[in-house]
Amino acid sequence: MAAVSTTSSLPRHVAIIMDGNGRWARKRHLPRQAGHVAGVATVREVVRTATDVGLSNLTLYAFSSENWKRPQTEVGALMGLFRLYFRNDLAEMVERGVRVRVIGNRSRVADDIRQMIEEMEKKTVANTGLNLTFAFDYGGQEEIVAAARELARAAKESRLDPETITPELFATRLFTSGLPEPDLVIRTSGERRLSNFLLWQSAYAELLFVDTLWPDFTPALFLEAMGQFANRERRFGSLPEAVA
Rounded average pLDDT over 223-244: 72
Mean pLDDT (whole number) for 109-137: 96
* Number of folded domains that form the chain: 1
Q: Pick the catalytic residue from 52, 57, 67, 105.
A: 67
Catalytic residue among 19, 89, 137, 183: 19
Q: Is residue 160 part of a domain?
A: no
Active site residue 19: yes
Q: Is 105 a catalytic residue?
A: no
Does the structure show a pLDDT above 50 at 237? yes
Cα–Cα–Cα angle for 29, 31, 36, rounded to 5 degrees: 115
pLDDT in tens, 45-85: 999 999 999 999 999 999 999 999 999 999 999 999 999 99
Residue with the bigger pLDDT between 230 and 115: it is: 115
* Inter-helix orientation angle 219-230/32-53, to 10°: 50
User: What is the average pLDDT across 119-132?
Assistant: 97
In a domain, 68, yes or no: yes
8 confidence band (pLDDT: 50, 70, 90): low
Q: Specify the CATH number for the domain of residue 23.
A: 3.40.1180.10
Q: Write down the pLDDT at residue 118.
A: 96
Query: 187 in a domain, yes or no?
Result: yes
In Å, what is the CA distance from 53 to each residue of 10, 48, 164, 212, 220? 9, 9, 40, 22, 12
Q: Is residue 118 part of a domain?
A: yes
DSSP 108-146: GS-HHHHHHHHHHHHHHTT--S-EEEEEEEE-HHHHHHH
Per-residue b or e along 15-29, where b marks 16 or more CB atoms closer than 10 Å to that residue's CB: bbbbbbbbbbbeeee
120 in a structural domain: yes
CA distance to 15, 43, 51, 100, 179, per residue, from 94 (Å): 21, 16, 12, 9, 20
Select from 119, 61, 123 the least CA-distant residue to 97: 123
Secondary-structure breakdown of the chain: helix, strand, coil percentages, each rounded to the nearest 5: 50, 15, 40
The closest alpha carbon to 22, from 134, 189, 148, 152, belongs to 189
| Residue 140 main-chain phi, psi, to 5 deg | -65, -40
Q: Is residue 158 part of a domain?
A: no
107 within a domain of the structure (yes/no): yes
183-200: pLDDT as tens digits: 999 999 999 999 999 999
Is 242 part of any domain?
no
Residue 37: give the domain boundaries.
Answer: 12-139+181-230
Q: Is the pTM of this model over 0.85?
A: yes
